[in-house]
Amino acid sequence: MTYIVVFTGPAGSGKTSLTKSYGDWLRSTLFLNVCQANFDPGAENLPYNPCFDIRDYFTLREIMKQYGLGPNGAFVKTVQIISEKINELMSKEPFSRLGEWDIIIIDTPGQLEAFIFQPETRILLNKFYELGRTVIVYLIDSSLIETPADAITMWFLGILLQIKIGLDVVPVITKADILSSNKREVVTKLLSSPEKLLEDLGDYEGIVSEIIPDLVSIAVKTRGAYRPVLVSTNDPESIEELHYYIHEVACSCGDLT
């Protein structure tokens, strides 16, 4: 069965870079038949050679022009168009001949908030589930995490994604190479024992001070059995770790803790 790995995450979290480096690693190390598929109609330059490119059908710029929309409105429109054309798109390579591919990596658009809040996103992601053994990875950008409160907020974006699409999402920290040891501790706590973040949250005033412990307890409840995986595109060992993590999740075999 073909594996489908979908990289999602906020703008600039490293989806495209990871699509490239994970795909390259799978080819050079495991000699797998890998397809890197671009679903971002706004992408300008891709560092990989896509086997599917949504820009062959339409681009963000074309939609802006055609519908007289700004970039965000056009982006919302592109998600709608993808869902309307879903059957047509899935009848094309690589989806039409899945058996030829060991793994398809899906690079998604940068505007996660638009992507999450579009009901059509659910249609697209569920389609992947129908086609293959699918893992949706939510990338948490190290560079956006300065404090424990930042870590909790990033976690919640992932929870929102899960709620909206109704599917499990696996968190992974990106850009591990730029983490100082303090920040590494914060992100590791976030994924392994979020309750410990409470000790480091510091003083908050008013309603926030009451909400934060509740948010942390939801993070504890929703953490699941995921182990902290920190990747860096220039560190093959971390890419290998990511791969075995994805494999375990896809097979639901092995202990993820």
Ligand X SMILES: Nc1nc2c(ncn2[C@@H]2O[C@H](COP(=O)(O)OP(=O)(O)OP(=O)(O)O)[C@@H](O)[C@H]2O)c(=O)[nH]1
List residues near ligand X by CB under 6 A: 9, 11-17, 40, 110, 174-175, 177-178, 232-233
Of the candidates 32, 33, 40, 35, the residue with the CA atom closest to the CA atom of residue 57: 40
The secondary structure of residue 93, as a DSSP letter, is T
- Choose between 134 and 232: whose C-beta lies nearer to ligand X: 232
Residues of this chain, 15-74, that bind Mg ion according to CB under 5 A: 15-16
Q: How far is the CB of 174 from ligand X (least distance, A)?
A: 6
Could you give the 3-state DSSP secondary structure of residue 13?
A: coil
Number of residues that bind Mg ion (CB under 5 A): 2
Q: Which is nearer to ligand X, 194 or 238 (CB)?
A: 238
**Smallest distance, Å, CB 47 to Mg ion?**
9
> Which partner from the list Mg ion, ligand X, none does 177 bind, CB cut-off 5 to 8 Å by kind?
ligand X
Question: Whole-number minimum distance, CB 40 to ligand X, in Å?
Answer: 6
Q: Tokens at residue 216, please?
A: 């942390």
Question: For residues 121 and 197, which CB has a smaller minimum distance to ligand X in the complex?
Answer: 121
Q: Which is nearer to Mg ion, 112 or 249 (CB)?
A: 112
DSSP structure string for 21-65: HHHHHHHHHH---EEEEE--TT----SS--SEEGGGT--HHHHHH
Binding partner at 41 among Mg ion, ligand X, none, C-beta below 5 to 8 Å by kind: none
Name the minimum Å distance from CB 18 to ligand X.
7
- Minimum Å gap between C-beta 107 and ligand X is 7
Q: How far is the CB of 17 from Mg ion (least distance, A)?
A: 8
Three-point CA angle 191, 132, 43, nearest 5°: 70
Pairwise CA distance, residues 216 & 137, whole Å: 21
Cβ-in-10-Å burial (0-12, 13-18, 19+) of 211 comes to exposed
Closest listed residue to residue 59, CA positions, set 46, 75, 36, 73: 75
175's contact among Mg ion, ligand X, none, with CB below 5 to 8 A by partner kind, is ligand X
Q: Which does 11 bind (CB under 5 to 8 A by kind): ligand X, Mg ion, none?
A: ligand X
Residue nearest to ligand X (CB): 110
Judged by beta carbon, residue 17 or residue 59, the one nearer ligand X is: 17
Residue 202: partners with Cβ closer than 8 Å, 6 or more residues away = 147, 148, 149
Strand partners, 207: none
Complex with ligand X: residue 17 or 78, whichever CB lies closer? 17
Residue type for 141, please? D
* Residue number with CB closer to ligand X (128 or 138): 138
238 binds, among Mg ion, ligand X, none (CB under 5 to 8 A by kind): none
Give yes or no for residue 118 binding Mg ion (CB under 5 A). Answer: no
Could you tell me if 37 and 168 are in contact, meaning their C-beta atoms sit under 8 angstroms apart?
A: no
What distance in Å separates the CA atoms of residue 175 and residue 184, rounded to the nearest whole number? 11
> Contact positions toward Mg ion, by CB under 5 A?
15-16
